[in-house]
Structure 1
Amino acid sequence: MPITTYTSREFNQHASEAKKAANHGPVFITDRGKPAHVLLSIDDYRKLTGEQMSLGEAVAQYHVPDFDFEAPRVEGLTRPADLG
């Protein structure tokens, strides 16, 4: 996974290139020579944070042939029918 680095000025001038580079690995953005920000693809961010996708996001993935989706278990939404 390649790491790309842009100065703040370069990032401002080449944001499109930085976004493309983020699809292949993290993009570090420096301020005065020191790392200040990191640009990640959403997939890399989700892997990093362990975030699960929503049902809407899972259904919207038309380009992915198969994927795993675990629906969260919902408790307490049912109640006995009132037949009286």
Structure 2
Amino acid sequence: MAARTFTSREFNREPSRIKRAATEGLVVITERGKPIMAVLPYGAYESLRAGAGTILDALDMDGVGEIEIDFTRPPTHPRAATFD
């Protein structure tokens, strides 16, 4: 869903309208055509604030065990120089 954009004047004059729009998703407030503020639902804010967690949290996710990774070196990858 795309962010809705309102001017700072609209933000000051119609805060209820901005709050209603923010319940549906991200709202960007602009001043002189440049974004100055973002308004988003509180649940989205909490998930941003929670952070990404640790690598151990990521490895504990469902389905991680089914991921296949190829660790072979590609033939075009340079090798370290050896000197005699």
Global fold match (TM > 0.5): yes
Structure with the bigger percentage of helix:
2
Per-residue CA deviation, residues 18-76 of structure 1 (Å, 9 max, x unaligned), is 1011111111000110000001111110111117xxxxxxxxxxxxxxxxxxxxxxxxx
Pairwise CA RMSD of aligned residues?
Answer: 1.3
Gaps of 5+ in 2: 52-84
The 8 Å contact of residues 29 and 35 in structure 1, kept in 2 or not, is answered as: yes
| Bigger radius of gyration among the two | 2
Seq. identity, %:
45
Q: How many residues align?
A: 51
Q: TM-score when scaled to structure 1?
A: 0.56
List structure 1 segments (4+ residues) > 3 angstroms apart after TM superposition. Answer: none
Gaps of 5+ in 1: 52-84
Corresponding residue for residue 78 of structure 1: none
Give the Cα–Cα distance (whole angstroms) in 2 for the partners of residues 19 and 44 of structure 1: 14
Q: TM-score when scaled to structure 2?
A: 0.56
Give the Cα–Cα distance (whole angstroms) in 2 for the partners of residues 22 and 48 of structure 1: 16
